[in-house]
Structure 1
Amino acid sequence: MTIYWPLKDVGASIRSNYALQDGGHAFEPEAGAPLSRPRTTARVEAWKVETIAIREGDLAIFEDWFDDTLAKGTQPFVMTHPVTRAFRKMQVQDRVYSITPRRGGRFVIGMNVLVLPDASFPGTRKGELVENGDFRTGDFTGWTSVPSTFDLVQNDQQSADAIAQKIPAPYAVRMASNSGTAESMFSATAFAVDPAKSYRLQYDEVSDAAADGTFAVVVTYLDGGGTPLATDGSTFAPSGTSQPIHKSIDLPALPGGAVTAQVFVRRDANGTAGNIYLTNVSMVPL
């Protein structure tokens, strides 16, 4: 289960930058100088962050989240990065946080966090080919031919909309049904591919219980003149569980002569009800 930062519109503002560190844990042996043991062999970012001043009710929400959902700070969680504002997986250092009272019955929460390397987040995958696959720009930058039945929904952990709470990215494209008509959009710029390499197509889907029909995430390969050669990918029925489902497809060998490719996202004509949400659309070389 992916755990998200619990407070709406209470982002982390930077107070000091620890720069890139290994996130080590210092301890004193029985004899000799203090030692530091790395928490991970990967290179991670460490930040000191503080919230804006929050009310007592939000403080109670945070404390319950930290103690119960985060298991007293032992579990990683997802929050916007202090600089890039992209969603990243983080870990509280030393499982502690501070509370500083402010005027007007408000409080500031402070803690040290590690930004963990995690290939499940777009932008951290090596060789990512799909531009704006998680729609983090808040618009359809990188996509074209977007139909009127598609719009963007923002991740909102305090929304009454259960789907908005479950989106595993800053935004997702919401595909409404248009019975009898297939609606699709595709990556605005064809990206280069190499027939000698293998590729993986990935995305996350979450849908409401009423969603029916099928949807597809596919890649079309083009020759040097822009003529389509073949299409790969899959067509699925929506999960209908209001829980994110991750799909990963190792694509078969590319057709000979393939020079570029484009990714298509489609809600098929057999859909008559409900909404399907897609995000984290990705294609990377293996």
Structure 2
Amino acid sequence: MSPTQRRTFLSLGAAAVLPDIAAAPSRLGTGDVHGIAQHTVALEEWDRRSGGRATWHFAGLELRRAVDLSAASMTPAVRTAWSGAVARLAGLYAWATFDAGEKGAAAAFDLALDAAREADDALAYCHIATNAARQAVHEGNAARALSLTASATGPHPPAVLAMVSAVTAQALALQGDIRVVMRAVAAAEAHASRAGDSAQEGWLQTLTPAKLRSDLGYALYRLSATTGHLAPDVVPQLRRTAGVSAASQPRARAMGAARLATVLFRQGEVDEARHHAAVATDLACAVGSARLDAAIAEMRAAA
């Protein structure tokens, strides 16, 4: 078959198999924005269950499509809603890029923060800024992390303030001052005690007591690594991460188990460490995450 015939054959085959690609609308409505939001929710759930490697490419495609809609005509109210939808989607793309170990996460976080400002959505900004701060903590950049958490403060619900304080504790842990880290941990716990059990929507649903314990456990884990000594309450705090559901949040559960195993191996508590190491390793088989890979590599080095 000649090259021309092959191209014709492939074109005909693709036309028969692949769905039509709808042209970008010339006018954007609330239904279009709702569609972006629905896709983002689905991708967020996929990220929680399968990790950033499974998500970042598809999130990038969705983000490109959503940004291309900026040329469409829309009312001011729709543009505000569109900016909010783009902020959440860009925040997811940035997070998945970071979790997958790909380049460009910081720039994507900046795009998401700009979109949240344009939408005047303080809660979305807070969510994105704290996730960007987590990336900065992972890279050892305490100054950027603290700047981001400071920008995320505001009259938010107690569960959100608890999250901000917990991520602030992670950033402060990089500086090795035990007293200021423990003050931030105490602030997070105080905010959480006022959170109550009211129903939440969207990303606020992820701000569970188990997630907070995981965040605080990581703060004390990073503090221990910085100082070279076990931080107060680090082992009990890491043990509390067992409350994270392995079914709905396998990455978070696996990372908590890997960190706990690392500490226990270093303490010589080998039997319990091996149990948690097995949990982390089993869960990691179904999760594509560079962060989780790094935690397991550290665990194996400690073993």
Please confirm whether the aligned pair reaches a TM-score higher than 0.5, indicating the same fold. Answer: no
More RCO (CA 8 Å, sep 6+): 1
Bin for the TM-score computed over the shorter chain: under 0.3
TM-score (norm 1): 0.26
TM-score (norm 2): 0.25
Structure with the higher fraction of residues in helix conformation: 2
